[in-house]
Amino acid sequence: MAENKSQNYLHGAAILTAGVLIMKVLGFIYKVPIANIIGDDGYSMFLATYNVYNVFLTLATAGLPIALSRLISEAHAEGRVMQARRTFSVAWLSFFVIGLVCSLIMFIFPNEIAVRILHNPPAALSIKAMSFAVLLVCLVSAYRGYCQGFGNMIPTTVGQVLEVLVKVIVGLVLAAVLMKMGKGKAAGSAGAIFGVVAGSLVALVYMAVYKNRHYVSDVPENPDVPDSYGKIFSHFMRIGIPIALGSCVLAFLNLVDSSLCMGRLQDAAGFSLEKAQVLYGVYGKAQTLFNLPAAIITPLTISVVPAIATAIVREENDKATKISEDSMRIAAVLCMPMGVGLAVLSEPIMKTIYPGSHASGPVLLTIMGLASFFVCIVLMENAVLQASGKEVWPMYSMIAGGIVKIVVNWFLVANPKINIYGAPIGTLVSYAVMFIMNFIFMCIVLDKNPRLHVIMLKPLVCSVLMALAAWGVYGIAGRLLGVSRVATLAAMLAAMLAAAVIYLVSTIAMRSITKEDMKLIPGGEKIAGILHMH
C-alpha cells in the first residue's frame, strides 16, 4: 500500500471525534435554524423524513461498513494484500445494488410512505427529495470501511466534515429561499433535506479520490491468493447482515416512534393533525440535542471494532478484554455528564435554542437527556459484541428493547394527559432493557466479566457533583440576571462553565481517566502533564 496509517484505536477515535465535534457544530447550524424557519409543524415533516431515510440508510450501511472494516483489518493483519483488494471490490458492488434499491423505493413511493407509515402526508415531498442520498452514502461507506480497516480514520473524518458543510450551505439556502418565495413548509422541509444529497455527493467524490491516490499499489512480488468472489461475498454478508439488522432496529425504533406518535396522538388522544405535528415537532427538536452524546461516542465504537478483531485474530484475548472494558469506561466518562447536563439544564437550553417552541420541550429534553446515557453505552456494547464475532446477539437485545418501546408508546402517547411525553419515557425504558441484556451477553463472550463498578461508579459520582453545581449556579445567576432570553443564555453558560470545571476536577481527582488512557490519544500525554494526571 502506498499509505498505511495504523493508528491505535483511541488515536483513531480521537481523530474521528474531532471531526464529529466539527460536524456537530455544523449540524447545529443546520438543524436549529431550519427548525426555527419552518416551525414545529414543518419540523415534524423534516424529522419524519429523516426517520424513513435512516431506516433505509442503516439497513444499507450500518453493518456492511463494519463487516468490511473487520475483513480488511483481518486481511491486513495476515499480510494478504490481494485479499483486501478483492474484498473491497465485492463490498463496493454490494453497496451499489443495495443503495440503488433503497433509493428507488423512496423515490417511487413517497406518498405511500408519508400517508400509510408516517401519518404525515405533507412529508412526501421531503421523502422524494432525499431519496438518492441513500445510494450516495452507501458508496461513501464502502470507501470509509476500507480505510478504517487499515486503522486510518483521517479520510472518514475529512469526508464527513465536507459532507456536513455542503449539507448546511445547500440545505439552509434552499429552505430560506423556498420559504421566502411562499412555497410552504412542505417545500421548505424538502429544500432543507436536499442538502443531504448534495453533501453526500461531495463526500463520495472526495473518498473515491483519496482511496485511488493513497491505496493503489503494484502487485507484490509474492501475491497472496485471494478467496473466491462468492466466498468473500458470503463471509461479508454473514458478518454484515446481522449487524445491519441489529442496527436497523434502532433506526426502525425511530420510525415506529414517528408513526406511533403521529397516529396515536390523532387516533387515540384526539388531537388534530396540526396539533400532533406541533407536539411531534418539538419532540424532534429535543431529539436533535438528545443525539449529541451518541454522536460523540460513535467514533470510539468505530475504532474499537478493528482493534478488538485484530486482537482476537492474533489470539490476544486479554488485550481484547482490556480494550472492551476501557472503551466502556471512557464512554461512560464522556457521555454521562452530557446526558445529565441536558437533563439538568433542559429548560434554559430549549428556551434559548428554540424560542417560541411548545412548552413541553424542557420536560421532553429532561427525560431524553437521561436516556442518552443508556444509548451511548448500548452503542459501545454493540461494538464489542460485533467485534467479538457475536454479530447476532445485539439484534436480540434491540428487538426486545424495540418491543418495549412500542408497548410503552402505544399506551402512554394515547393518554391525552401524557400524550407526547410517553415517547421519551418509552425511549428511556427500551434502552435500559438493551443495556442490561447486552451486558449479560458481554459477560458470556469475554474471558473476564467487565467490572460494572469500575465502568460506572466514578463517572456517576462526578456527574452528580457536576449536576449540583450546574443547578446551583443557574438558579443563582437566573435570579440575579432576570428572565429575558439574553439573561437566560448568560445564566446557562455560567452554569455550563461551572459544571465543566467541577466535572474535570473531580474526574482527575478520582482518576476516572488515567495518564495511561491519555497516552493513547494524539497529544494526550502533554494534556495529562498540564492537568497533573497520574
Across the range 45-53, mean pLDDT stands at 85
* Most confident range, picked from 40-54, 290-304, 465-479: 465-479
Q: What span, in angstroms and rounded, lies between the C-alpha atoms of 321 and 384? A: 9
Residue that the C-alpha cell 449556579 belongs to = 473
Across the range 245-259, mean pLDDT stands at 72
Q: Percent helix, strand and coil across the chain, each rounded to 5?
A: 85, 0, 15
Q: What is the pLDDT of residue 215?
A: 78
Quote the Cα angle for 417-420-421, to 5°: 75
Across the range 73-92, mean pLDDT stands at 85
Annotate 426-439 with DSSP letters as a single string: HHHHHHHHHHHHHH
Q: What span, in angstroms and rounded, lies between the C-alpha atoms of 27 and 414? A: 32
pLDDT digits (tens, 9 = 90+) for 400-418: 998 899 999 999 999 999 9
Render the burial of 434-454: b for 16+ CB within 10 Å, e for the rest.
Answer: bbebbbebbeebbeeebeeee
Q: What is the pLDDT of residue 223?
A: 79
pLDDT above 80 (res 76): no
Provide the pLDDT confidence category of residue 14 given band limits of 50, 70 and 90.
low
**pLDDT-wise least confident of 26-40, 140-154, 292-306:** 292-306
Q: What span, in angstroms and rounded, lies between the C-alpha atoms of 146 and 1? A: 12
Q: What is the pLDDT of residue 525?
A: 58
C-alpha cell at 533: 494526571
Q: What is the pLDDT of residue 518?
A: 61
Q: What span, in angstroms and rounded, lies between the C-alpha atoms of 34 and 187? A: 12
Q: What span, in angstroms and rounded, lies between the C-alpha atoms of 272 and 380? A: 40
Burial class (CB in 10 A: 0-12, 13-18, 19+), 251: buried
Q: What span, in angstroms and rounded, lies between the C-alpha atoms of 364 and 420? A: 8
If one compares 381 and 315, the residue with the highest pLDDT of the two is 381
**pLDDT-wise least confident of 151-160, 247-256, 258-267:** 247-256
Residues belonging to the chain: 534
CA distances for 401 relative to 62, 180, 283, 387, angstroms? 18, 43, 20, 21
Q: What span, in angstroms and rounded, lies between the C-alpha atoms of 72 and 83? A: 8
Across the range 335-357, mean pLDDT stands at 92
Q: What span, in angstroms and rounded, lies between the C-alpha atoms of 244 and 99? A: 13
Q: What is the pLDDT of residue 326?
A: 82
Q: What is the pLDDT of residue 61?
A: 64
pLDDT above 50 (res 24): yes
Across the range 107-130, mean pLDDT stands at 91
Classify 79 in phi/psi space as left (phi over 0), alpha (psi -120 to 50) or beta: left
Secondary structure class of 464 (helix, strand, coil): helix
